[in-house]
Amino acid sequence: MLTRDAREVYSKTLAVSLIFFLVIGSIQHLLQHRIHDRVFRWATAFALVQIIAIVSLSLGLLASRAWASMKKSIDDQLRPAIRDRVMALAFEGESWSSSVPERGPARRVLEESVAHALVTLKPPRRDRIAQFAVEWKFAAQWTEEFASSRSKSVRRRAISLLGPLSPIVGKTALSAALHDEDPIVRSEASRALLIQNDHAGVENVFRSLLSESLLVRALLASELKRHTRFWLNHTIPVLLEEGNRLEVERCLEMLIAWKRALPTFDVLPWLSRDRDRSLWPLLFALLPYVAVDDWIEDYLISALASNHVPLQCEAAKAAGRLRLERLIPALSATLHQDRQLGLASATAIAQMGEHGERHLEKIAAGSDRRAAAVAMEALEHITVRV
């Protein structure tokens, strides 16, 4: 099945190819009476079309360059004065005495300066610029651009500028942008909604984020961190109980990424349910941030004894971070197994202070070469890095 983009690209390619072929065909038809050899005639027509294409493309290229550089030089002349006036409006609250240009280079530079001020300044200076942008129809222009432009970069810019204006112009465009095809536009809209601090909006963003691509989650992870407490108390408990497995996994990944203490989060019910065993690696990765007791050791020992390397690795890392000395024998038993697991276990043992170090030294001097190698590396990281 072709995607929408693919269908569009291939149909345009087909259309242009057909036009190209039709033009060549028409030209060769016109040449019918002048050139009698068929191959020769087609070749001549092809050559003529190519010449037209090359000349028009080259001239177009050079003309667009010249036009862009001319536009830039005009803008460069206007920019300092206009930008100073916009900054004066933002910092000193000076009113815009002269009329605002409706079109032309001055309007373009003013729009650019207002946009620059909106994304760089903080309230209350930004609020003055926002008011100005609404008053002089820049907000309407950006809303229109977002709604009608097919260019991702235009939509992206429009939505990033509409974000700071949303207290005045409303959230309609931002809510629509949450469903845009471009992930960056969606993340810009989510970010703008998160800044509003409105609980319903924030909850909505978090829930929709769990079905988002990794890119959007990566772009929003740190922005979401500010709302950890709200989510821990409201959204996450409901989601963990009712959400589907993918949502639960992504929710746990987000909690791990935030690296924040989660004193109220209880992992025991999850670990004790057999159907949630596939979540164990994520739950183990979460261990340093949640409150646990001695019971955790049994779960970690059971995980280390399993034959599932990713789970064993996470269990080893958790044991190291929690400095559970009683797990040293279980960790040692995995040193000669998979290299990655061996390394995770050796590093965990090394984290357990003097006792762990002594144990590793013995293994390093032992006859099991595989275990000795990972023990050496773990020991080296303590000595050299210190």
Partner 1 sequence: MLYRWLESLIIAYVALVNATYFVLMLVGYFALRKKSDAFSPKDIDVLLKSPFVPSVSVLAPAYNEAATIRDSVRSMLRLRHPRHEVIVINDGSADGTLDALIDEFRLYRSSRVALAEIPTAAVRGVYESRDPIPLVVIDKANGGKADALNCGINYARNDLLAAVDADSIIERDALLQISRPFLERPEDTMAVGGIIRVANDCVVEHGAVVAVKTPGNWLARFQIVEYLRAFLAGRTALSFANCLLVISGAFGMFRRKLVVEMGGYRVDTMGEDMELVIRIHRYCRERHIPCRVAFISDSVCWTEVPESRRVLQRQRIRWQRGCAECMIFHKRLIGNVRFGSVGLLGMPYFLICEIFGPFVELTGYLITAAGLTLQWIPLSSALLFFVVSVLFGLLLSVTSVLFEELTICKYPNPRDVARLLLAGLLENLGYRQVLLLWRVRALFQVLAKKQRSWGEMERRGFQRV
Residues that bind partner 1 (CB under 8 A): 5-6, 8-10, 12-13, 16-17, 20, 37, 39-40, 43-44, 46-47, 50-51, 53-54, 57-58, 60-62, 64-66, 69, 152-153, 156, 182-184, 213-215, 217-219, 221-223, 253, 256-257, 259, 339-340, 342-343, 373-374, 376-377, 379-380, 384-385
> In angstroms, what CA-CA distances link 6 with 2, 100, 123, 213?
6, 43, 44, 20
Minimum distance from residue 200 beta carbon to partner 1 (Å)? 24
Minimum distance from residue 195 beta carbon to partner 1 (Å)? 14
Minimum distance from residue 27 beta carbon to partner 1 (Å)? 13
**Alpha-carbon distance 82 to 90, whole Å?**
12
Residue whose CB is less far from partner 1, 17 or 148: 17
**Alpha-carbon distance 204 to 188, whole Å?**
15
According to DSSP, residue 91 is labeled H
Residue whose CB is less far from partner 1, 81 or 246: 246
Minimum distance from residue 58 beta carbon to partner 1 (Å)? 6
Residue whose CB is less far from partner 1, 271 or 318: 318
Provide the sign of the torsion angle of the four alpha carbons 87, 91, 96, 100, taken in this order: positive
Residue whose CB is less far from partner 1, 268 or 376: 376
Residue whose CB is less far from partner 1, 219 or 319: 219
**Alpha-carbon distance 152 to 30, whole Å?**
43
Q: How many CB atoms lie within 10 A of CB 107?
A: 16
Minimum distance from residue 54 beta carbon to partner 1 (Å)? 5
The continuous run of DSSP H or E covering 261 comes out as none
Minimum distance from residue 85 beta carbon to partner 1 (Å)? 25
Residue whose CB is less far from partner 1, 249 or 377: 377
User: What Rg do the C-alpha atoms of the chain give, in angstroms?
Assistant: 32
Residue whose CB is less far from partner 1, 64 or 172: 64
Minimum distance from residue 278 beta carbon to partner 1 (Å)? 17
Minimum distance from residue 380 beta carbon to partner 1 (Å)? 5
Paired tokens of 257: 């990424």
Paired tokens of 63: 């003309």
Residue whose CB is less far from partner 1, 41 or 136: 41
Residue keyed to tokens 């300092």:
80
Q: How far is CA 205 from the centre of its chain?
A: 14
DSSP string covering 184-225: HHHHHHHHHHHHHT-HHHHHHHHHHHTTS-HHHHHHHHHHHH
Paired tokens of 242: 């009712």
